[in-house]
């Protein structure tokens, strides 16, 4: 007779064995959850320590100082006297100097941090927006120009956030740099806000700093619009290049 090829019967699992296996699986899952929670707590603690260490480095301390200068500038502007406006211009100028200094120190000392990347542009936009809005209430700037400038900043900030999330790098153009320089000098002139005898290499005579500041800010509005249009065009081109099939022809 041919040999039987049937497999030997498998031993049945008893109820006790199944119960023990279930309990072991539950214990293992519970232990894995505890380990994961502990790892998350440790990661959060490290992040808090990293953020605290970043907050204490010199470039970020200068950025915090620039934010604290905002109410001081507004307090001087609220007083409105020539002396108070002069000191408001001095404080704003110091804030502009810290803006240049903290970036230079961060790059030179290798202290570029996520916190700094967040705080530095935030501080710049906060002080510019606060002062421009305050100058409107003082009658030194028309509201439409401030609306255009602030709308441009909001739009470009949103586009940069989208570009960063999509992994796109878009270099800033020269128009944006010209806008920043004209805007900074123009705002300082508007803060001064009174006529003075002005001399720089040559005698300019009696200069009304409000008129000078408005002219510079109007020029910055022009560069704001052109730089925003250029940035939008570069953003659209970057999206198109990324979505274009490799080696394919544009549709």
- Which residue shows structure tokens 């008893």? 14
Within 10 Å of residue 66's Cβ, how many Cβ atoms? 24
Instruction: Find all residues with CB under 8 Å of 26, minimum gap 6, and list them.
Output: none
Phi, psi of 114 (to 5 degrees): -65, -40
Cα radius of gyration (the chain)? 31
pTM of the model: 0.70
Dihedral class, residue 79 (left if φ above 0, else alpha if ψ from -120 to 50, else beta): alpha
Alpha carbons 152 and 220: distance in angstroms, whole number: 11
| Orientation of helix 209-243 relative to helix 174-192, angle to 10° | 160
Run of H or E including 202: strand 202-208
Within 10 Å of residue 130's Cβ, how many Cβ atoms? 15
Q: What is the 3-state secondary structure (H, E, C) of 23-48?
A: HHHHHHHHHHHHHHHHHHHHHHHHHH
Token pair, residue 151, equals 């709308």
| Orientation of helix 82-108 relative to helix 58-79, angle to 10° | 170
- Classify 251 as helix, strand or coil: coil
For residues 102 and 124, is the Cβ–Cβ distance under 8 A?
no
User: pLDDT tens digits for the chain (251 residues)?
Assistant: 455 555 555 555 566 666 677 777 777 777 878 777 766 665 654 544 465 676 667 777 888 888 999 999 999 999 989 999 999 999 999 998 888 887 777 777 776 677 767 777 888 889 999 999 999 999 999 999 999 999 988 888 888 878 777 777 666 667 777 888 899 999 999 999 888 877 777 777 778 889 999 999 999 999 999 988 888 888 888 777 777 765 554 44
């Amino acid at each position: 007779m041919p040999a039987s090829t049937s497999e030997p019967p498998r031993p049945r699992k008893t109820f006790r064995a199944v119960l023990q296996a279930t309990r072991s699986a539950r214990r293992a899952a519970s232990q894995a959850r505890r380990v994961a929670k502990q790892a998350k707590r440790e990661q959060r603690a490290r992040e808090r320590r990293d953020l605290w260490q970043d907050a204490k480095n010199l470039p970020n301390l200068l950025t915090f100082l620039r934010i604290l200068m905002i109410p001081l500038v507004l307090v001087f502007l609220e007083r409105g006297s020539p002396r108070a406006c002069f000191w408001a211009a001095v404080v704003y100028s110091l804030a502009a100097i810290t803006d240049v200094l903290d970036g230079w120190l961060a790059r030179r000392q290798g202290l570029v941090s996520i916190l700094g990347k967040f705080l530095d542009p935030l501080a710049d936009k906060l002080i510019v927006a606060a002062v421009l809005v305050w100058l409107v209430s003082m009658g030194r700037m028309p509201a439409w120009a401030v609306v255009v400038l602030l709308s441009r900043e909001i739009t470009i900030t949103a586009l940069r956030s989208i570009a960063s999330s999509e992994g796109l790098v878009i270099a800033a153009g020269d128009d944006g740099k010209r806008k920043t320089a004209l805007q900074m000098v123009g705002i300082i002139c508007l803060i001064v806000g009174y006529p003075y005898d002005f001399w720089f290499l040559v005698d300019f005579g009696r200069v009304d700093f409000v008129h000078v500041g408005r002219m510079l800010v109007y020029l910055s509005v022009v560069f704001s619009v052109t730089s925003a249009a250029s940035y939008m065009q570069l953003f659209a081109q970057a999206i198109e290049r990324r979505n274009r099939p490799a080696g394919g022809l544009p549709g």
